[in-house]
Amino acid sequence: MSVKRKGKSKVTIFPDWCKGCGICAAFCPSKVMELSEQGKAVVVREEECVHCGFCELHCPDFAIMVQPKEDKEEINPKLSTNKSLDNKEQSSSATESSSGTSSSQVKEDN
C-alpha cells in the first residue's frame, strides 16, 4: 500500500512561516524533512513521501503543503480540480499574505 504511494507527492515548505519546532522532522514515517542549520525544516527525501499527511495536519504554523505531483494527473482525476483550486488559492493568498510565503518552494540542496 505505502510502496505504491511513494514518489507521487510534492512536499512544499514555506520557510517564512516555519518556526523550526521540529515536529514534522521527528514524526515523519519516511524522514522526508530535516531541520537545516538555520533551524528551518527542509525537504531532503521527497521521493520517500507516502502521502500520510501527518506533517501538514500537525504543523502548528501551516507551513507545509503535501500535494500529489502534477504529472500524475491521469492517475488521479481529482487532481485537475485540485490544480485549479491551488492556483486560485495561491494567487489570492499571494496578494494578501506576506510576499513569498505561498509561492516559495524549497529546493533540494545537492
Minimum distance, C-beta of residue 32 to another protein, in the bound complex (Å) = 14
Q: Does the protein bind another protein through residue 100 (CB under 8 A)?
A: no
Q: Is 82 in the site for another protein (CB under 8 A)?
A: yes
- Counting contacts by CB under 8 A, is residue 44 touching another protein? no
Residue 62 in the binding site for another protein (CB under 8 A): yes
Helix (H) or strand (E) run with residue 68 in it = strand 64-68
How many CA within 13 A on the CB side of residue 65?
Answer: 17
The position carrying cell 496578494 is 95
Judge contact between 61 and 17, C-beta under 8 A: yes
In the complex, minimum distance from the CB of residue 40 to another protein, in angstroms, rounded to a whole number: 11
Q: Which is nearer to another protein, 45 or 69 (CB)?
A: 69
41-43/64-68 β-pairing: unpaired
44/52 with CB nearer another protein? 52
Size of the site for another protein (CB under 8 A): 41
Q: Is the separation of the CB atoms in 12 and 52 below 8 Å?
A: no
